[in-house]
Amino acid sequence: MLNLSKESILIVEDEEKIVRLLEIELEYEGYETGKAMDGIDAFDMFLSQKWDLILLDIMLPGMSGIELLRRIRGKNSTVPIILLTAKDSIEDKVSGLDLGASDYITKPFRMEELLARIRAVLRMRQATIPVPPNPIEDEWLQFSDLRVNDKTREVVRSNLDVSLTPKEYDLLLYLVKNKRQVLDRGQILEAVWGYEYHGDTKIVDVYIRYLRKKIDVGFDTALIHTVRGVGYVLKEAT
């Protein structure tokens, strides 16, 4: 488990010497690091936990850095990515930036320059991370690291796909659309189940429990909170 107070950087690079050097320098600067030496391993590492930044070499065995970048952005992740490119690959730089890389640095690079770019990208993250245009992007409702696609009924938390039953989905959608508002059980019941269930608010508690198992249990922070004597609220803080 990573120390949560440190920013974490995933190093994706197949040259062992460079990986070693990056690990030493980044850890010395106070970052937590992880490494992957091929594209497939890197994608698994990306899915397995939340990273603050990814350093991504373009020429990789298994899956190219560009393909990996496409897949990461395909998961609607906005994690900042700095590409490590060879001097002569202008096209890779351009397509990398088009696909939503935050920056790139040409190899061989000076460590000081890379560290400066990492600091700059981490400072600007959230605000300016380019997300590639995506026709169904507009259908995504986002709350914290939770995303719900109202067209395809896909649900993603912290880049992990979550599979919900139709009712669980309806309930979650209602919570997301009314985020940060305290919703009483009767209100939820009426909105999600309709009038025929009127009065039987226990079903709300049951489904909230199902939903928590899928979108909250096992994640760093809970999003569904109980408001004693009233109902529930979807919010970030505890």
Q: How many residues bind Ca ion (CB under 5 A)?
A: 3
Minimum CB distance to Ca ion, residue 84 (Å): 8
Minimum CB distance to Ca ion, residue 15 (Å): 6
Cβ neighbours for 124, distance < 8 A, ≥ 6 positions apart: 80, 102
- Complex with Ca ion: residue 19 or 148, whichever CB lies closer: 19
Minimum CB distance to Ca ion, residue 8 (Å): 22
C-alpha distances in Å from residue 98, one per residue of 55, 63, 102, 129: 17, 18, 10, 12
- Complex with Ca ion: residue 46 or 169, whichever CB lies closer: 46
Q: Give the footprint of Ca ion on residues 6-25 (CB under 5 A).
A: 14
Minimum CB distance to Ca ion, residue 99 (Å): 18
Question: Helix H segments across the chain?
Answer: 16-28, 39-48, 65-74, 90-98, 111-124, 166-177, 185-192, 202-215
DSSP output for 134-155: -TTGGGEEEETTEEEETTT--E
- Complex with Ca ion: residue 36 or 146, whichever CB lies closer: 36
- Complex with Ca ion: residue 34 or 231, whichever CB lies closer: 34
**Diameter over CA atoms, the chain:** 69
- Nearest Cα residue to 14 out of 61, 49, 50: 61
By beta carbon distance, the residue nearest Ca ion is 59
Cβ neighbours for 131, distance < 8 A, ≥ 6 positions apart: 73, 76, 78, 100, 137
Q: Give the footprint of Ca ion on residues 81-140 (CB under 5 A).
A: none
- Complex with Ca ion: residue 26 or 36, whichever CB lies closer: 36
Binding map of Ca ion across residues 29-68, x = CB under 5 A, - = no contact: ----------------------------x-x---------
Minimum CB distance to Ca ion, residue 233 (Å): 47
Q: Which helix (H) or strand (E) is 183 found in, with range? A: strand 183-184
Minimum CB distance to Ca ion, residue 100 (Å): 20
Give me the residues that bind Ca ion (CB under 5 A), please.
Answer: 14, 57, 59
